[in-house]
């Protein structure tokens, strides 16, 4: 148990559906992250929040919309997704957002396996 | 941008042997490099961090080396066990975030 939980663990949705992924961390961390993991590809950073403020948007399509109401919770709202969006979506947290001179270990949740039909 | 390559997609070794996984990167040398373990259906779990001025780091049966001249890190698991079977990811610190390799799936055969 890493202290980061994600719900749901599995999700199947049609291209016209709207759904949300939820992440909660119980570690008292200030930074939270969304990653996408597809087969045979490295983890792709999607969004970063530090102290509830979005600090990174890695050119993610607008059909993915993050929300961070407080430092412990992070949501990813999904709307009109495409089949190529099917992947494992991982949430992570760290004490603070790392820098090149001060790395931060990230703690990951178990992920949400998303299938878009 | 940084490109990270992990030597092979999959590696099979016999129980009791030493597993050696490779992480190569291009472009700039990061100040820090991390290794994570990922089991099927789970998120990555942090294992070790090594700084650019450290040549070697150990933790129990794990050893990591960092050669900034070769732009390479090696990850060793000595006396490997079937429970060590997992995917191992290397990650480099970028401007403000971590950049991950694609991982090497290690299988330790009893």
CA distance A94 to B41: 21
Q: Do B43 and A42 touch (CB under 8 A)?
A: no
Model pLDDT, residue A51: 87
Q: A22 versus B52: which is more confidently predicted?
A: A22
- pLDDT, tens digit (0-9, with 9 covering 90-100), for A88-112: 999 999 998 876 666 788 999 999 9
- Per the model's pLDDT, the better-predicted residue between A68 and B32 turns out to be A68
Nearest to A56 among B93, B97, B101 (CB): B97
Question: B93 touching A, CB under 8 A?
Answer: yes
Hey, is the C-beta of B86 within 8 angstroms of any chain A C-beta?
A: no
Distance CA A32, CA A29 (A): 8
Mean pLDDT of chain A: 92
pLDDT of A97 = 81
**Mutant choice from A42, A48, A93 vs B, greatest count of B C-beta within 10 A:** A42
Query: Which of A37-41, A68-72, A108-112 is predicted least confidently?
Result: A37-41
């Amino acid at each position: 148990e890493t202290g980061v939980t994600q719900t749901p663990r599995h999700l199947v949705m049609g291209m016209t559906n709207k759904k949300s992924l939820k992440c909660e961390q119980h570690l008292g961390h200030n930074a939270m992250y969304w990653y996408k993991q597809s087969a045979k590809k490295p983890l792709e950073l999607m969004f970063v929040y530090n102290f509830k403020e979005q600090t990174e948007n890695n050119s993610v399509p607008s059909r993915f919309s993050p929300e961070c109401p407080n430092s412990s919770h992070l949501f990813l709202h999904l709307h009109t997704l495409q089949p190529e969006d099917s992947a494992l979506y991982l949430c992570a947290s760290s004490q603070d957002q790392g820098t090149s001179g001060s790395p931060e270990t990230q703690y990951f949740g178990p992920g949400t396996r998303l299938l878009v039909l | 941008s940084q490109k990270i390559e992990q030597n092979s997609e999959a590696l099979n070794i016999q129980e009791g042997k030493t597993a050696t996984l490779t992480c190569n990167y291009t472009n700039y040398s990061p100040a820090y490099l991390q290794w994570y373990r990922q089991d099927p259906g789970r998120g990555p779990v942090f294992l070790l961090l090594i700084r650019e001025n450290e040549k070697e780091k150990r933790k129990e049966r794990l050893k990591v080396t960092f050669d900034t001249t070769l732009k390479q890190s090696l990850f060793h698991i000595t006396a490997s066990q079937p429970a060590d079977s997992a995917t191992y990811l290397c990650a480099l610190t970028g401007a403000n975030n971590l950049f991950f390799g694609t991982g090497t799936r290690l299988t330790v055969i009893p």
